[in-house]
Structure 1
Amino acid sequence: MESDDDSVLSPTSSADEYDDEDVNARRAPNWCAYRHLIERRGFRLDTCRDVKQWYQRYWEGLQASGLDVTRDLPGYTRACSIKDENELCKDAGLPDNLFRGTHIASGRKVVIKSVHTCSREYDAVRYLTSPHVRSHPMNHCIPVYDLIQVPADCLVFIVMEEWYPQFLYEIPGTLRLFLGALRQCIEHIVFMHSRQMAHLDISMHNILTDYQAHYAFIDFESCRRFDGTPTPLIRGIRGTDVPPEVERGDWTDPYKADVWMLAVLIHKACKITGYNVPELAAFTRPMLQDDYNRRPSIAACLKAFDAMVANIRREKLDAC
């Protein structure tokens, strides 16, 4: 993967208008045109053969568990309808800027995302996955295998490990594991803020898991960097869950906007998992202050979170 240092990463301003939206809009490339380039970097875009083999392994796993198998799934049917097994087979459930694939050397599944070379997402991912940053224990960015540049087309392919939606398919088995997942979410935002970065689209859909108690953030399309700006203010955020001042069209502190979004995520995670934790409700209350100036910093949130967990009985934390 290419190596970049801070000197080549352009800082963002605190202006109320986002950067040129053309470069930050989702890019839907002609995937066939870049197929061989991506293969030369060690990755294979999913073909009809790959899709059929995936479904067959999936069904074998279900049958081994004694579960019923339904073979008329749309993805499998579509792959079977194409005569050439080597033809690319896009997952219809993914946006056009994403394509599933395989790391040829290891056989691991990947997801490849196309972005503009001047986009906020590429700037953020390039920094978060750079050698001096990616190994930090508080950096919970999705693992990235490669950044494949196509300068002539102002395009970059971000090759990520394929992880899975957090909490939606496999609920943490104990309160301790659930709180551990939330702590990783808080940790990553602490890490980003310490690097003068705000995510600005914290939501359930943008956090994934590897099903091994590791959690990671994705989708940095709204991310902003504020190098050299001690007290940035922005407006016009287009995240999934935005704080009230943003809905009113007012200015906000981007770091305090992240704090509000994180509190909303915690509430939704509790609802989805069924973990009714009064301590978490008390913990998030200050984070949801209508006045962003009264919200705590993310570093203070992490400190308060650890204090809250320390006061929960061990039997409650480990109960199944």
Structure 2
Amino acid sequence: MSLPDPSTNRRARGSKLQGRLGGSELFWRDHYEWLLEKGYQLRSRYQPDWKPSWEGTTKAWYDCPDGLHPMHGSILDASRSSDGELVTLKRISKSLYPFEREIGLFFSSPAMAKSVHNHCVPIYEALQVPDDENICILVMPMLRPYEHPRFDTIGEAVEFFRQIFEGLQFMHQYHVAHRDATHSNVMFDARSLYRDPYHPSIPWRKLDLSGRARHYTRTQRPVKYYLTDFGLSRQYKAEDLPTREDIIMGGDKSVPEFSTAETCDPFPADVYTIGNLVKGLTEGDELTSAMLGFDFMKPLVAAMTHEDPTKRPTMDEVVTRFEQIQKGLSSWKLRSRIVKESDSYVGGLFRGIYHWGRRLVFVIKRVPPLPTP
């Protein structure tokens, strides 16, 4: 899956509004002052007295930082007053998603946060909205989609697989089923990767929209990946396992048992969805062009996506099998450039030249082929 083309995306999201506030944004405008008191400053477009910067000029609204709509109505960026750090605010309904806050805070507790195996998005703070008991705002780090920018080497992708397998295993060890571990809910912390701060609404552009945001490769600046969005997640008591849950479809609706039964065990379903995510990257799907050179992942992915949930490995077994796969990969293989089926000859040629230059430098400097943070 790749981010949409900026020239079409920025217009499509707000062409009818011409940069004006959409309905879902009014909540943020109405709570601007309260959030400021709590230590979080929203963009200027949410100030109660906001006047569009493009009015009276020749600029188009989509070329102005204050003209851009958020990518999701319930999620917004903010600047933390104490240090200027960009964070993400997520508005949740406690009646619709009664366990999201609880599970997020559970994995963000000091005891959990110190584990290197924990890949659940950190919750810095949970704010209760003063005028609505049903609404809570979760404060999290600013993250971006895991696949953008694209992986440069096979080693970078292998490290991604390792981290997301480890992260889901960690959740399962505490009897928590994610239930929506799909493309949109796997992200990463890109602060070390990007040389330029990027705009949250169009993250391939600089914060001030003056140009493309420059970045390093993951080999140069290793990153950490996170599982996000615990709206459908559930935690169980050990004595209640295995369990059955009513089918609630998340982002991946291809889970076989979703179409053959009214209930399912959510843990094998998790194994399927994270395996299907890897399959989409390595073998291609309707959203993604296949990354070539990953035949070594096919047996494990096939087991994880088996039609019979009772024949899928547990996440403990997935991690063990993956460790053996990783040990069998040479440094040469891990440093190899990722080629996609959709890559053009000319584009691939230029990427190949740049890649070999970087590769030579990495070998000389002994930069590890697996970019572990």
CA drift of 1:72 comes to 4.2
Residues 150-195 of structure 1: CA deviation (Å, up to 9, x unaligned): 365222110111111111x212221111110111101111010001
Distance in 2, Cα, partners of 1:190 & 1:29: 39
Distance 1:291 1:49, change over 3 A: closer
Residues 99-119 of structure 1: CA deviation (Å, up to 9, x unaligned): 221112222211101113452
Q: Would you say the 8 A contact 1:181–1:213 is kept in 2?
A: no
Answer yes or no: is 1:74 the counterpart of 2:62: yes
Answer yes or no: is 1:44 the counterpart of 2:41: yes
Answer yes or no: is 1:178 the counterpart of 2:157: yes
Distance 1:174 1:100, change over 3 A: same
Answer yes or no: is 1:265 the counterpart of 2:277: yes
Distance 1:49 1:275, change over 3 A: farther
Distance in 1, Cα, partners of 2:63 & 2:170: 38
Partner of 1:99 in structure 2? 76
Give the counterpart of 1:284 among 281, 297, 301: 301
Partner of 1:221 in structure 2? 231
CA drift of 1:136 comes to 1.3
Residue-pair matches, total: 264
Give the counterpart of 1:157 among 134, 137, 141: 137
CA drift of 1:73 comes to 6.2
Distance in 2, Cα, partners of 1:162 & 1:259: 27
Corresponding letter in the other structure for 2:169: V
Corresponding letter in the other structure for 2:237: D
Distance in 1, Cα, partners of 2:309 & 2:164: 20
Distance in 1, Cα, partners of 2:103 & 2:271: 19
CA drift of 1:29 comes to 7.4
Answer yes or no: is 1:195 the counterpart of 2:170: no
Q: Which moved more, 1:200-209 or 1:149-158?
A: 149-158
Distance 1:292 1:49, change over 3 A: closer
Residues 106-157 of structure 1: CA deviation (Å, up to 9, x unaligned): 2221110111345221121121112221221111122332211236522211
Distance in 1, Cα, partners of 2:60 & 2:164: 37
Q: What is the RMSD computed on CA atoms of the aligned residues?
A: 2.5
Distance in 2, Cα, partners of 1:239 & 1:195: 21
Partner of 1:241 in structure 2? 252
Distance in 2, Cα, partners of 1:251 & 1:226: 16
CA drift of 1:312 comes to 1.7
CA drift of 1:235 comes to 2.7
Distance in 2, Cα, partners of 1:31 & 1:73: 20
Give runs of ≥4 in structure 1 deviating > 3 Å: none
Answer yes or no: is 1:112 the counterpart of 2:89: yes
Structure 1 spans left out of the alignment, 5+ residues: 1-26, 56-70, 81-90
Q: Would you say the 8 A contact 1:283–1:308 is kept in 2?
A: no
Distance in 1, Cα, partners of 2:313 & 2:90: 34
Q: Would you say the 8 A contact 1:75–1:92 is kept in 2?
A: no
Report the secondary structure of 1:158's partner residue. Answer: strand
Distance in 1, Cα, partners of 2:99 & 2:292: 35
Relative to the length of structure 1, the TM-score reads: 0.75
Q: Would you say the 8 A contact 1:201–1:261 is kept in 2?
A: yes
* Aligned sequence identity (%): 21
Partner of 2:312 in structure 1? 295
Structure 2 spans left out of the alignment, 5+ residues: 1-23, 48-52, 54-58, 191-221, 338-373
Corresponding letter in the other structure for 1:284: V
